[in-house]
């Protein structure tokens, strides 16, 4: 698959490592420009590109940057993506440490991913947001392994969600369908599933145990 990754930090870098090793054709971008990604390119074979070119021809576009920077992405970011492309959102809202207050999330009642989707103008699938970046490299296990970790995946488009679930399976993780994007508060920061290393049963139970109320320390 042709994949564009916007963000080359903890998550974007490790997804580039694993996705290239599975044989996908990966373009990767950060905020400072492709010349700053030479080491990652040499290590993985991913192609560093300016952010405006990251989605060109991509069947899957991953946005994995600090949430507050999403509105600053180029307005035509996704214009040249492949027909029917899937947009994967790994992001979290950290109002106090990083992102500042976003009223539409806190007062408007939008889930973090619904807000991202509105900024980018394309439906998203939410996954990896509660996964330790290092686990992308260290935790993969074959299907059927009793120690295999499961990741929650939210999205409104069944086909897009299925594509992401199959990719995550190929990366070495089980998945649990966590519902639509309006339900994706169940996997936001400080919910029981956030950062949980458990299998399908544990993740399913943690999603069910979540409370929709935004925790006080995740308010700006
Ligand atoms: N770290 C984790 O374990 C983890 C786990 C799950 C989810 N997440 C979430 O996933 C997202 C990424 O986290 P991270 O830890 O990978 O972040 P990170 O290590 O801070 O990396 C952020 C990346 O985004 C790039 N970036 C920032 N603004 C950009 C812009 N306007 N255009 C293009 N690229 C831009 C940065 O490029 P420069 O370096 O050039 O500025 C950097 O490559 C966050 O929303 C985070 O909350 C993180």
Domain boundaries, the chain: 2-218
* pLDDT for position 132: 98
Query: Ligand 1 centroid to 146 CA: how many Å?
Result: 31
- What's the rounded Cα separation, in Å, for the pair 12 and 108? 29
Confidence check: pLDDT of 127 > 90: yes
- CA distances to 11, 33, 144 from 89, in Å: 11, 21, 27
Residue 63 C-alpha to ligand 1 middle, in angstroms?
A: 9
Task: Specify the pLDDT at position 42.
Answer: 98
For ligand 1, mutation pick of 8, 11, 197 (most atoms within 8 Å of CB)? 11
Summarize the confidence of residues 96-102 as an average pLDDT.
96
pLDDT in tens, 129-178: 999 999 999 999 999 999 999 999 999 999 999 999 999 999 999 999 99
- pLDDT of residue 108 exceeding 90, the answer is no
Helix, strand, coil distribution of the chain in percent, nearest 5: 40, 15, 45
What ligand 1 atom has the least distance to the C-alpha of 13? Answer: 16
pTM exceeds 0.95 for this model: yes
Please work out whether the CB of residue 31 comes within 6 Å of at least one atom of ligand 1.
yes
- 72 band by pLDDT with thresholds 50, 70 and 90: very high
Cα of 90 vs its chain's centroid, Å: 2
Average pLDDT, the chain: 98
Query: Residue 3: which pLDDT band, with cuts at 50, 70 and 90?
Result: very high
Residue 18 pLDDT greater than 90, yes or no: yes
Q: 30 CB under 6 A from ligand 1?
A: yes
Q: In 64-219, at which residue ranges do the beta strands (DSSP E only) sit?
A: 86-89, 124-126, 150-155, 174-177
CATH 3.40.50.720 fits 2-218, yes or no: yes
Cα(145) to centroid(ligand 1), Å? 31
pLDDT for 106 beyond 90: yes
Residue 32 Cβ < 6 Å to ligand 1: yes
């Amino acid at each position: 698959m042709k994949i564009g990754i916007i963000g080359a930090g903890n998550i974007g870098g490790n997804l580039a490592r694993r996705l290239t090793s599975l044989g996908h054709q990966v373009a990767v971008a950060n905020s400072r420009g492709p010349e700053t990604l030479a080491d990652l390119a040499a290590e993985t074979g991913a192609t560093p590109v300016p952010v405006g070119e990251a989605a060109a021809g991509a069947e899957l576009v991953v946005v994995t940057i600090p949430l507050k920077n999403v509105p600053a992405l180029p307005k035509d970011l996704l214009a040249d993506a492949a027909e029917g492309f899937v947009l994967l959102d790994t992001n979290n809202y950290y109002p106090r440490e990083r992102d500042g207050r976003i009223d539409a999330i806190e007062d408007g009642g939008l889930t973090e991913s619904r807000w991202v989707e509105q900024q980018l103008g394309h439906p998203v699938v939410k996954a990896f947001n509660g996964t330790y970046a290092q686990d992308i490299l260290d935790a993969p296990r074959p299907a059927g392994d009793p120690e295999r970790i499961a990741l929650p995946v939210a999205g409104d488009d069944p086909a897009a969600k299925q594509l992401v679930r199959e990719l995550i399976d190929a990366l070495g993780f089980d998945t649990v369908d966590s519902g639509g994007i309006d339900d994706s508060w169940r996997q936001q920061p400080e919910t029981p599933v956030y950062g949980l290393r458990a299998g399908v049963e544990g993740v399913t139970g943690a999603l069910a145990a979540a409370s929709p109320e935004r925790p006080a320390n995740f308010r700006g």
